[in-house]
Structure 1
Amino acid sequence: MNPIFARLSRRIIRYQLARTTSDQLIQLGKKKLIRAFRRAARHSSAYQILLREHDASVCDINTADDFVRRCPVLEKSNTFRRFPIDQLIASDTDKSQLASILTSSGHGSNGFAIGLSTRKQLKSTATLIDMGLELAFDIDRYKTLLINCLPMGVTFQSDTVCVANVSVREDMACAIVEQAGAAFEQIILCGDPIFLKKLCDFSQSKGLDWGRYRVNVIVGEETFSESFRDYLALVLNSNPDHPASGLIGSSMGVGELGLNLFNETRETIAMRRACMAQPDLLIDLFGRSAIDAPVPSFMVFNPMRTFVEVVNTDKHGNGDLLVSMLDPDIPIPLMRYKTGDKAKLLSTAELNAVCRKTNKDFSLPSLPVIALHGRAKDYLPDGMHLDHFKHLLYADPAIAAQVSGAFRLTSAVNGLRWEIQLQHGNEISPQSIASSLQAAASLTYGRVETICYSYHDFPHGKSLDYERKFVYWLG
């Protein structure tokens, strides 16, 4: 696409978003939903079988309410584990035009799932990515370098920013910053939390001065705590509460559905941090039990791209996240696909109530908002969540500087065992760090046996290669 035309298109979209409510966008998306459903029902033999087994007749499904009430819930076990790829691919897909494959992480017990893209879709990928980057990072205003440190062959295409796909090479990422960073007005780092911690550690050991650059971060792959955001901000010379500072925000994708399905914005980050400061907001939104749970991430989504549901909800609206993709050209159409995450859809009224109760002046996002509680399997048997321990690991910057970010939780007699990996060359004794973290954990969560290991002695280090999602919890 012509760069001038692309920039004009992004300005038009921003203008339209500013004048369209999230509820209006959702209604427009529902019209696309029925078209996407009918295409899947007509062209996916696997989906036809699932509809018959669920006694769902296509002619009876004419509205979004019909779709929600009658159509089956899909997940890996009844799609990718059950059907061969030929039955999952829509029959109107020209297989000679398949251009790329993206897999899920394989982190769950149901193995891998895949997402396919056509050449037509691939050509539009850069446009979609650039639109997202413009909304989050003003790439039309700042000459931008994006350093992609995501593993597993995840790459970015862009017609606007300069992209360096370095995968999990902290030395390569830092070398690019040092040698080329001054040629740009801002830098965007993209990676998962555990690798971004390694990148921070390595950059500090090399004396890299992040203060010379305007640095933004896209955090993917897993949830993280506000203490981790604060730690990144401290190392990268950023300020999460200042609108002129670089943005440190998260993005969530699902390999078989697509990248960046949900993402934080400055507004949603401000909401989450407001909830940290005012626990009564959490009670209003999620019930009194939310006080003992990690604060969820608030993220926006594009209802013209995805139809989002939350099912099996409790009385406060928290439940299982389902996503239906609305792209009419997607090779594997997935309707009501269960991602394995816990979430809540937030209404405009609830969001307005949050704004009224805070002392901070921030506006609502133009896109609809979801509260993401994280993966269902990240909840421990006693109701605690992995994010409790991620928070403790970064709550004290002095201790955070000494750990790698990797830990393993296991059941122990009368409680939990928390094994923590220290970073290379830590300067505080393992026993001292373990005592501090155990005291903090036990104060809130009961008996937690805490053990710190040197980097090479960490018994679970062989599964930490930064290419695979790290396993934090073994029940």
Structure 2
Amino acid sequence: MKHPLQIIPEDFKNPIKLDRLLKTKPESYWSSRGERRVLDLFHLMAKRVPAYKDFLKKNKINHLLVKNISDFKKVPPVDKNNYLRVYPLEALCWDGEFDSKRWTVAVNSGSTGEPFYFPREIGQDRQYGLCAELYLRNNFEIHKKSTLYIDTWAMGAWIGGLFTYEALRLLAERGKYKLSIIAPGIVKDEIFKAVKSLGHKFDQVIIGGYPPFVKDILDEGETLGINWKKNNIKLIFSAESFSEEFRDYVYERAGIRDTYKGSLNHYGTADMGTMAHETPLSVYIRRVARDNLKIHNRLFVERKVPTLTQYIPELFYFEEVNAVLYCSGYSGLPFVRYDLKDWGGVISLASLAKIFKEENIDLSRETRKVGINNTVWNLPFVYVYERVDFSVKLYGAVIFPDSVRHALQTKRFSAGVTGKFTMYVDFDDKQDQFLVVNVELKKGVAKTIEFERMLQTEIVERLKTENSEYFSNYRSQPERQTPRVVLWDYESPEFFRPGIKQKWVKK
């Protein structure tokens, strides 16, 4: 008889008790539990997931010889290319069972327009529900306030909108919270109607969505006469990073006064769901790092301040290998040492506190001073910059170079462009996102506005055809999704220096 899988540890099932333990048990306690559980996961997968069993065999790994976390870290990582795309979907599931289960399936974009489907069961919804309940209590006090949660992530085959809805519904029922949910997705008119008609009936309104989209809602709502400050707005973000200047901007728009508890950002993927999230402590640390160069340089590897989150190692076990993040967890498709292709790192709370102390900042005293000492969890941090693969994010949609490349390779443009380009996402003075595509002209070809517009139209059509997330966003707000095409003379040094490998994406 198969031993039932325990997606959520038994003693995690009482969120109130768990919250208390996260604040009182030392970080080492949680790290040790995480190590034990990830080893158990590894051995279970070696026996009960056909694809992983074969993967280990091909790599000459005897799982019985993996006895501790040091042995575990020598196991080869898996990714889409060496694992997910090699085996049939059923082989990636527990006991090779797919068609006999009850799944909710999410999709993410592929680099060639070929999507990958990630199934999950109710266990993953409950796991996210547990994490969401912890932060909704810790940040927003949903146990004390009646709350309207407006789910503005895209509804449909993508993970954000439906995953959030299911988790909220489960936690609201389990905890008997005064929590109501409305899920208009990315339909702005319905969002505005919900705020106008329902917002004043609740103690607070939480808006969850992609950062640039939430900003658009706040900006446009104000022009329609919505007084956000009367609705006690709180914000939850996901799918991409943002600066603290962005946070300040949306706070001013929404009238949010609590710098550290007024919003949070998730770190999650379609592959594994929601893995980590910001806490009041991580927001505080991020803002200190922005203003204190010494601390920033000791914490992070890049000049840009990354998304900084905390995680429970027993639910998602993170590793940093050469500044790339691996994660293991009981996701819909279970993963061990899964290469997320995200550039970032892992840092313990103890190490972070030591760095602050050496820079003459007492973390305990400062958290008391800013009023977040009663929210601090003794958990490690994971920080993330960007994906290390060739992609950018625009309003939550992952944009790959292949779609742009296909547009430039259209026969009618072959006489005018070399096929080289560099794309990136930038922000204007109002903190609105936009996609820039820099295109190299062939030698002797002159820049014209007409040619620029033709390329722009073709790129949009290709993205709409090959990227379902982009197409969904485009239908809602075409002007924000239309890229700015910039034409450059042949071999312009800014982006097209001769003799070096072309950089398709600028981070």
Give the structure-1-normalised TM-score: 0.75
Which residue is equivalent to 1:445?
Answer: none
More divergent stretch after superposition (218-227 vs 134-143): 134-143
Q: Which residue of 1 aligns with 2:101?
A: 97
In the alignment, the residues of structure 2 paired with residue 131 and residue 29 of structure 1 have an alpha-carbon distance, to the nearest angstrom, of 18
Corresponding position of 2:435: 407
Aligned 8 A contact 1:322 1:336 in 2: yes
Give yes or no for the alignment of 1:298 onto 2:308: yes
Aligned-pair CA distance for 1:8: 10
Name the CA distance, whole Å, in 1 between partners of 2:61 and 2:87: 19
The alpha-carbon deviation at position 107 of structure 1 amounts to 5.4
> Which residue does 1:42 correspond to in 2?
47
Alignment of 1:370 with 2:382, yes or no, is yes
Q: Distance in 2 between matches of 1:41 and 1:52?
A: 9
- In structure 2, the residue matched to 1:417 is none
Q: Are 2:80 and 1:76 equivalent residues in the alignment? A: yes
Partner of 1:29: 34
The structural deviation recorded for 1:110 is 8.3
Say whether residues 1:264 and 2:278 are aligned partners.
yes
> Could you tell me whether the CA contact under 8 Å between 2:308 and 2:381 is conserved in 1?
yes
Match of 1:274 among 249, 263, 288: 288
- Report the RMSD for the aligned CA atoms in angstroms: 3.4
Q: Are 2:137 and 1:134 equivalent residues in the alignment?
A: yes
Per the alignment, residue 497 of structure 2 pairs with none
Q: Structure 1 residues 109, 337: closer, same or farther in 2, change over 3 A?
A: farther
CA–CA separation in structure 2 for the residues paired with 1:67 and 1:130: 31
Distance 2:155 2:310 in 1: 25
The reply to whether residue 200 of structure 1 matches residue 218 of structure 2 is yes
Per the alignment, residue 420 of structure 1 pairs with: none
Residue 111 of structure 1: CA displacement?
Answer: 4.2
1:251 equivalenced with 2:269 (yes/no): no
Secondary structure of the structure 2 residue equivalent to 1:179: helix
Query: 2:460, 2:216 → 1: CA distance?
Result: 14
Whole-Å Cα distance in 2 between the matches of residues 280 and 459 of structure 1? 46
Counterpart Cα distance in 2 of 1:248 and 1:206: 24
Q: How far did residue 60 of structure 1 move?
A: 0.6
1:149·1:168 contact (CA, 8 Å) conserved in 2? yes
- Structure 1 distance, partners of 2:110, 2:244, is 24
Checking the alignment, whether the CA contact within 8 Å between 1:81 and 1:110 is kept in structure 2 is no
- 1:341-356, aligned counterparts within 5 Å? 341-356=342-357
Of 239, 244, 249, which aligns to 1:231? 249
Match of 1:170 in 2: 188
Distance 1:92 1:135, change over 3 A: farther
The aligned counterpart of 1:15 is 20
Q: Deviations over 1:136-172 (max 9, x none)?
A: 3221122111111111532223223211111111111
Q: CA deviation at 1:460?
A: 6.1
Which residue of 1 is the match for residue 488 of structure 2?
none
For residues 14 and 119 of structure 1, do their structure 2 counterparts lie closer, same or farther at Cα, with a shift above 3 Å needed? closer
- State the partner residue of 2:205: 187
**Contact (CA 8 Å) 2:91, 2:97: kept in 1 or not?**
no
The alpha-carbon deviation at position 353 of structure 1 amounts to 3.3
Distance 2:439 2:258 in 1: 36
Superposition deviation, residue 366 in structure 1: 2.1
Structure 1 residue 92: deviation in Å? 6.8
**Secondary structure of 1:91 counterpart:** helix
- The reply on whether 1:212 has 2:230 as its aligned counterpart is yes
CA distance in 1, matches of 2:353, 2:205: 33
Among candidates 54, 60, 64, match of residue 55 of structure 1: 60
Deviation per residue, 1:115-150 (Å, 9 max, x gap): 322345546654443234223322112211111111
Partners of 1:408 and 1:310 in 2: how far apart?
31
- What amino acid is aligned across from residue 274 of structure 1 in structure 2? V
Contact kept in structure 1, 2:347 and 2:382, CA below 8 Å:
yes
Write the letter of the residue equivalent to 2:387: R
Work out which of the residue numbers 319, 322, 334 in structure 2 matches 1:309: 319
| C-alpha spacing 1:120/1:228, structure 2 compared with 1 (3 Å) | closer
Offset, 1:230: 1.5
Amino acid at match of 1:279: L
**Secondary structure of the corresponding residue to residue 94 of structure 2:** coil
State the Cα distance separating 1:471 from its structure 2 match. Answer: 9.8
Task: Tell me by how many angstroms 1:348 deviates.
Answer: 3.0
Question: CA offset at residue 285 of structure 1?
Answer: 2.0
Whether contact under 8 Å (1:186, 1:215) holds in the other structure is yes
Shift of 1:474: 4.8
- Equivalent position SS for 1:52: helix
**Residue 370 of structure 1: CA displacement?**
1.5
SS for the counterpart of 1:55 is coil
- Residues 149 and 189, structure 1, Cα contact 8 Å, conserved in 2: yes
- How has the CA–CA distance of structure 1 residues 25 and 87 changed in structure 2, closer, same or farther, with 3 Å as cutoff? same
Q: Which amino acid aligns with 1:308?
A: F
Compared CA separation, residues 331 and 174, structure 1 to 2 (3 A):
closer
Cα distance in 2 for partners of 1:471, 1:36 equals 44
SS in 2 for 1:224: coil
Aligned partner of residue 322 in structure 1, secondary structure: strand
Q: Go from structure 1 to structure 2 and tell me whether the alpha carbon gap of 1:331 and 1:276 turns closer, same or farther (over 3 Å shift).
A: closer
Please tell me whether Structure 1 or Structure 2 has the larger radius of gyration of its CA atoms: 2
* CA offsets 1:31-55 (integer angstroms, 9 cap, x no match): 1112111111111111112111221
Q: 1:461 to 1:410 in 2, by over 3 A?
A: same
Whether the 8 Å CA contact 2:23–2:378 is kept in 1: the answer is yes
Equivalent pairs, count: 398
Residue 77 of structure 2 contacts residue 339 of structure 2 at CA under 8 Å; is this kept in 1? yes
1:416 equivalent in structure 2: none
State, as a whole percentage, how many aligned pairs show the same letter: 18
CA contact (8 A) 1:194 1:466 kept: no
* Alpha-carbon offset, residue 9 of structure 1: 2.9
Letter of the structure 2 residue corresponding to residue 300 of structure 1: Q
> Against the structure 1 CA distance between its residues 331 and 211, is the aligned structure 2 distance closer, same or farther, given a 3 Å change threshold?
closer
User: What secondary structure sits across from 2:299 in the alignment?
Assistant: helix
Query: Could you tell which deviates more after superposition, 112-121 or 207-216?
Result: 112-121
- Secondary structure, counterpart of 1:207 in structure 2: coil
CA contact (8 A) 1:72 1:336 kept: yes
- C-alpha deviation, 1:368, in angstroms: 1.2
Is structure 2 residue 86 aligned with structure 1 residue 85? no
Which stretches in structure 2 are left out of the alignment for 5+ residues? 1-11, 368-372, 393-421, 442-451, 464-469, 475-479, 484-502
From 67, 73, 82, the counterpart of 2:72? 67
- Map of 1:437 onto structure 2: none
Alpha-carbon distance between aligned partners in 1 of 2:278 and 2:58, rounded to the nearest angstrom: 38
